Amino acid sequence: QVQLQESGPGLLKPSQTLSLTCTVSGGSISNYYSWSWIRQPPGKELEWMGAIRSSGSTYYSASLKSRTSISRDTSKNQFTLQLSSVTPEDTAVYYCAGGRGYGANRRDVYDYWGQGTQVTVSS
């Protein structure tokens, strides 16, 4: 059974860089699937942010591409999100997810989800 767990700071100040790590167990991130970061701001829909495929290729949402970077550490079976220059509009629950698909703002595209971590941006 594949399980995902997000970790990272819950509170940031504007202009800081958000860094979140997703630790995957029960399956290797370099063998199969795509691994995504998805967020949900309060009162809004899910927003796919970007993904890293098992090959190592990365894909990003056009709206966030200039501020987003996704990388991985295959030795730790982890992948990491970095979002620079955060503002209060980046306040959201951040999820990591894995599955055969990526790029969509729908839960059913992804086979596995982390529990989510609240990130608040406030001065």
CA distance 66 to 89: 16
Q: What is the pLDDT of residue 32?
A: 81
Q: What is the pLDDT of residue 31?
A: 86
CA distance 58 to 91: 23
CA distance 54 to 30: 4
User: What is the pLDDT tens value at each position of the chain, 123 positions in all?
Assistant: 999 999 999 999 999 999 999 999 999 999 888 999 999 999 999 999 999 999 999 999 999 999 999 999 999 999 999 999 999 999 999 999 999 989 999 999 999 999 999 999 999
Among 67, 112, 62, 110, residue whose Cα is nearest residue 90: 67
